Amino acid sequence: MEATAKPTEISSTKMFDGYNKRFNHFSTVLGCSMNFHIYFPPAPSPSHKFPVLYWLSGLTCTDENFITKSGAQRAASREGIALIVPDTSPRGLNVEGESDSWDFGVGAGFYLNATQDKWKNWQMYDYVVKELPALIQANFPQLDISQASLSGHSMGGHGALTIYLKNLDKYKSVSAFAPILNPINCPWGQKAFSNYLGEDKASWEEYDATVLASKCNKVSGTILIDQGTEDKFLKEQLLPHKFADACKDATVPLLLRMQPGYDHSYYFIATFIDDHILHHAKALNLKTSL
């Protein structure tokens, strides 16, 4: 896929000797203007190239939530990993009904390629997997997209896991916080998939981590998932036991950590984000400091 026009830098803030930078560009895949963040760690030399960790955020989030709330930059600076944080859906298209509910439409792209005509611009899978990496490669020579990993939260955890399982040759590792693991069997997923993909439930399975894991036998690295036991969405929406069973049956390496007392919030993410950065640093063959 050809890269889109050069992105415009709209903000820059120093943090842990690196920089949070926010950019805007026009996405040809989504048909609208999009923002994304990159955290650039401090470079040991002008020619140094950093591996990248894509972070996919959850329902109602933008490219800003993770950057402002997670505290991931401390570990990313220390380990030498650039953080790339896209938005969660197209914005500004004024599609009828796009903002009627918080769990569908704007802020709820579900990292899939919609097939229903009304939602034809909701192509977040292609944006994350194809367009954004091409844009990064064309405009940021200090970043090495051939050395890439994925992480995310809730809807973004769903995105990270499904993208990873569908593209094992592209990504070195994956992790997630409180991911939606079996969307074809939960209300959030059923609402999104029926609207974006229509009633052909076979097409839904292409974006369901539990189904994908059950068919997968090539995963070499361990999948890391943290899930809070006091998460109010745990039983109805997230269904980690379904994914764990699928991984066990398919011998997919999984470390599912049930964290006592934690909820669905960024307080939870901030508590364990360093573990996830280290998980990816090891997979990216970086010399970890811990």
* Residues recognised as catalytic: 154, 231, 264
Name 257's Cβ contacts closer than 8 Å, sequence gap at least 6.
224, 225, 226, 227, 272
Q: How far apart are CA 27 and CA 124, in angstroms?
A: 11
Whether the Cβ atoms of residue 1 and residue 130 lie closer than 8 Å to each other: yes
What is the C-alpha separation between 229 and 110, in angstroms, rounded?
Answer: 24
Decide: residue 220, CB within 10 A, 0-12 exposed, 13-18 middle, 19+ buried.
Answer: exposed
Q: Which of 263, 261, 260, 257 is nearest to 275 (CA)?
A: 257
| 8 Å CB contact between 114 and 197 | yes
